[in-house]
Structures are given as C-alpha cells and as structure tokens.
Amino acid sequence: MNVSQLLSDATQRIAAAIDLPLREARLEARVLASHAWQVDAAWLIAHDTDSVLAVHAAQFQTLLSRRLQGTPIAYLVGLREFFGRSFEVSADVLIPRPDTELLVERALATLPPDQPVEVLDMGTGSGCIAITLALECPRARVTAVDCSPAALTMAQRNAVRLSAPIEYVVSNWFAALGVLRFDLIVSNPPYIANQDPHLARGDVRFEPLTALASGPDGLDDLRHLIHAARDHLKPGAGLLLEHGYDQSDAVLDLLRKNGIAQAQSWADLSGTLRVSGGKLSE
C-alpha cells in the first residue's frame, strides 16, 4: 500500500466512524500520519506514491484505531493550538477551544499594558488562558489555580515550553488562596449540566468530567466562583467568566447580585453570548 492509498482508506474509515465530512476526515488522516511518522504535510504530498513500510503502517494503524474509537485528535497528537501558540494536552486537561479565545481577548482589553497587575486564572487546566495572558501582557503577574495536580503539571510544562512566568497553586477554587486579592480574575469553569446529552458525544467523552460538568443546571461552579470572587477582587477589579450558550442571563443576574457593576456579556464568533463579566463596585 502506498501513502496515498493508506490516507484515503483512513479517511473513509474516520468519516464513517466519527461521522465527519470527508474533508475533515482527510485532514485528520494526514494529521495522524504526520504525527506517527514525524513528517510534515509537504512530505506526505511529495511522497504519496511511496510504499509504506510495515512498521510505519503499524504505527499509523495504532493511532487510527484509537481515533476510530473516538479519542480526540488533540490527545492523540498531544497538542492543540490556542491564540496562535501550541499547547501540550493530555487526558488530564480540557482541550483548549476557540470559544475561549474570546475570554482572553476580553481580558486583554481590560488589562493596562504599562502597569503591573495581578491576574488570577481559576481552573487553568492546560494553562492556555494564564499563559496567553502572561505572554500577551508581560506586566501582568499571573497566578494559575487548579484542583488537579496533574492539570497543574501540564500547565507548568506548557509555561516552561512557552517561557511564561506563572505562579501555580493547587486549590479547590479559592480555598487555598487565603486573603489574596487580584486586579482581574478570569475563569473557564465547568458549566455543562450533569445530565446534558452532549457529555455522551464526541471529544467531551474523553475529557475530564470535573472540567466539564457542574451540577443539575451546570451553574454550581459559576455560582460559587461569583459569590467567592468578591473576597478576592481589589475594589474596581474585573471578573470575566466563560459560560454555556444559554447561561448569560443567569450569570449576569449572579454577577449583579454579588456586587459586580457594569455586568455585561460578549458574543463569540458564532454570535453566542459566551463570556460575561464586570467590575467589583468600589
């Protein structure tokens, strides 16, 4: 079998097993081959009529069979791009999503570029938010919190790879933070309802449930975060939260009831209100 035949066979199988359009399945087949053989996309094109060595075919089939069982591509190749940088990921952390770039954009819009500010990322996972903020806003001192030591280890690896200075704290939300206060708190907390059928479909089946699900209405952690944030924000400091597509009214209500002024929501690229926040009244 040559490279081109192997890729088109894999494309058909991925499309059928994962229910993907052929164009995406073809891209996935190429990504898996590039990763299995440590070659780039140009190599695959230049060598499409080369026959594939048995050992290379076996390496590719191992990855392909895991993909056919549903394992996310990001976990198979161990990387996912976020805000123009490549982050290492494993099954210990949520896969960074383009939606979350909105949270980063809103945070950058509020951070003064020329003053030192203390920023907290709650539930950092891969570290993609904390690290992006630290690199885009070098005067920010960024603290990253996660309750999972394995997640924080991954965040730390990413920070080292990308040379981002980050402070790490293992903590169940604010529990270990004492009386520390920040100029900005950001979070992409779990916000899916426990019984939401989406949890049983696609990539999310393989992601850490503690990073996804949050009580009967998905708002348990957001309620806790918004309530507790008041004790960790300096006067006038900002709070920015990602939430579910239908949660902006509930989150705005919680923000207002907890002393957060100028509460508003912002839409992501698909027009969904995805981030809400405001400032602690002075």
In degrees rounded to 5, what are phi and psi of residue 253? -60, -45
Segment holding 106, helix H or strand E: helix 100-110
Binding map of ligand GLN across residues 220-249, x = CB under 6 A, - = no contact: ------------------------------
Determine which residue in the list 190, 238, 277, 278 makes contact with ligand GLN, applying CB under 6 A: 190
Report the nearest approach of ligand GLN to the CB of residue 225 (Å).
12
CA–CA distances in Å: residue 104 to residues 96, 108, 112, 119, 132: 12, 6, 14, 12, 8
Report the nearest approach of ligand GLN to the CB of residue 151 (Å).
13
Chain centroid to Cα 185, Å, comes to 17
Residues near 106 by Cβ (< 8 Å), separated by ≥ 6? 240, 266, 275, 277
Q: What's the rounded Cα separation, in Å, for the pair 120 and 266? A: 20
> Which of these ranges, 111-119, 168-176, 183-191, 255-263, lies near ligand GLN under the rule CB under 6 A?
183-191
Does 191 bind ligand GLN (CB under 6 A)? Our answer is yes
Does 97 bind ligand GLN (CB under 6 A)? Our answer is yes
Residue with tokens 């990763």: 35
Q: What is the DSSP letter of 166?
A: E
> Which of these ranges, 7-15, 108-116, 189-197, 250-258, lies near ligand GLN under the rule CB under 6 A?
189-197
In degrees rounded to 5, what are phi and psi of residue 141? -100, 110
Does 192 bind ligand GLN (CB under 6 A)? Our answer is yes
Q: Is 146 annotated as a binding residue?
A: yes
Report the nearest approach of ligand GLN to the CB of residue 144 (Å).
15
List contacts with ligand GLN (CB under 6 A).
97, 99, 188, 190-192, 204, 212
Which residues are part of a known binding site for substrate?
188-191
Give the residue numbers of the binding site. 123-127, 146, 173, 188-191
